[in-house]
A and B are shown apart, each in its own frame.
Chain A
């Protein structure tokens, strides 16, 4: 089944019942921006049932020039990604070409769950800003896997080659330290923006603090690894490093996720994503694409209007919004007085 869409207006509303493919359309845009789905890590899960692959094409306009971007998943599971018929050797070089911010219902786990989701957010943002960041990150993950395998093999074989462990530690430090430096430098300016946006959205001053939390703030990475060696040997994995970093969020001194209300959590999520949008816009010189997946559920009328005003009027970029409730979405879009296209799926 082939479908194609065009988006003549800056604001696109995508309406339809659950299961009709609204989110698929958003994810298709995400796919072409990030070479992968936002919702699943396995490409095969994006294949239509009974088919053996897929082809996804999109025309993006960058600085007035159209670019034909194409992603193909072949029968053998091999993925190809190209812009203007030129295939990428490394998909990672595509990241950041079409800056893009997505907000989806499950993103609230970034506020309510453990640190992994917050690192994922941070890594996605920094990778779009700085291609070098993504290269270091990919290397870091590979070295970390090698190190964990080595630690396991120490336990399995009862032979401990510490010279090899030192070599791998050295490699891990070489990739991890610049990642730490970049996170630290970036968050110094980013977190105050988040805080300010949060207060704007909630329309009152709230005592919220956001702080970068990393073991590397206390000591050099190499020393930390050395100090934790026994612990690592015992647990057969790498227990310290930038893969444990977090953004510590507090509300009146208490962990935010435990005491914040549902509305406050949502406000903070929007603040983080809108801050991401601002940073990308400032760095790239044009606003990123904004994908809003079903975000109005359980929001009061005032918050919906407030949010739509920010993303449709203050923000000058292209916006895609899905909603099951067409009347609600169209009513609010008319309230903020913007022109838009409505696609019924």
Chain B
């Protein structure tokens, strides 16, 4: 692609770095911005820069937050003694969209997979165990993808918190939906949250 302006070329190159955006799409987006008012485009870039520089991660659950504690953790209407354990922030968004869950979250930041060099130490697992001990949690709900690494993660955490005698459940997995959590439709995900089952049953049923 030949550009007669370095400014234009730089902008196209930046857009093309985004996932799923090729050079052609990048050019289309940049040309679109070029047609906008200068003020509008300034606002656009400020919003993005601000998002990146000011966003924080909740000190309690590791969800995205605008303050030290996220809006879900600081909402007194939500059941603080129920924690839904998820892999990433997209899962929080998916479950929140179902409007079927009124507890809090804990974002692990991944799942255990030695093959990919991810062990418990690379994840927010220690903080979860400390949190559960400190907060007198009543129930831990695992909402992880139904695969081997998801199982490993569930069993490992369960093993760690076993002495505490907390109720540990998992959303119905594998049967209700086969794909990734974030692609599951809201109705199915909501239903499997309500029909969650004790991890012990899940283990013996497979």
Contacts and interface: CB of A to CB of B under 8 A. Distances in A.
B148 A143 contact: yes
Contact of B148 (A139, A152, A163): A139
A170 interface: yes
B119 A164 contact: yes
B154 to A, nearest CB: 9
Nearest to A147: B114
17 contacts: A143-B148, A146-B115, A146-B148, A150-B114, A150-B119, A152-B114, A153-B114, A153-B117, A153-B119, A164-B112, A166-B159, A167-B155, A167-B156, A167-B159, A171-B148, A171-B152, A171-B155
A170 B114 contact: no
A142 interface: yes
Q: For the complex of A and B, list the 9 residue pairs with the smallest distance between their C-beta atoms, beginning with the closest.
A: A149-B114, A150-B114, A149-B115, A167-B155, A167-B156, A142-B148, A146-B114, A146-B115, A145-B115
Chain A: interface size category: 20 to 34
A147 B120 CA distance: 14
Nearest to B147: A142
A146 B114 CA distance: 6
A90 B114 CA distance: 24
B71 interface: no
Chain B: interface size category: 10 to 19
B178 A89 contact: yes
Nearest to A157: B119
B151 interface: yes
Contact of A170 (B115, B155, B160): B155
Most-contacted residue by chain B among A150, A163, A167 (CB, 10 A) = A167
A161 interface: yes
Given A146-B114, A167-B156, A161 B148 contact: no
A182 B119 CA distance: 33
B119 A163 contact: no
Interface of A: 89, 139, 142-143, 145-147, 149-150, 152-153, 161, 163-164, 166-168, 170-171, 174
A143 B119 CA distance: 14
Contact of B119 (A89, A142, A161, A170): A161
Most-contacted residue by chain A among B112, B148, B159, B206 (CB, 10 A) = B148
Nearest to A90: B178
B75 interface: no
A313 to B, nearest CB: 46
Given A153-B114, A163-B159, A166-B159, A146 B119 contact: no
Contacts, number: 45
Contact of A164 (B115, B120, B151): B120
B25 interface: no
A163 B162 CA distance: 12
A161 B148 CA distance: 18
Interface in B162-206: 178, 206
Nearest to A139: B148
B175 to A, nearest CB: 13
Contacts of B149: 146
A161 B160 CA distance: 12
Contacts of B102: none
Most-contacted residue by chain A among B117, B120, B149, B151 (CB, 10 A) = B151
Contacts of A145: 115
Nearest to A175: B148
Contacts of A174: 206
Contacts of B152: 146, 164, 167-168, 171
A139 B159 CA distance: 21
Contacts of B178: 89
Contacts of A142: 148
Contacts of A171: 148, 151-152, 155
Contacts of B155: 167, 170-171
A167 B113 CA distance: 12
A130 B131 CA distance: 45
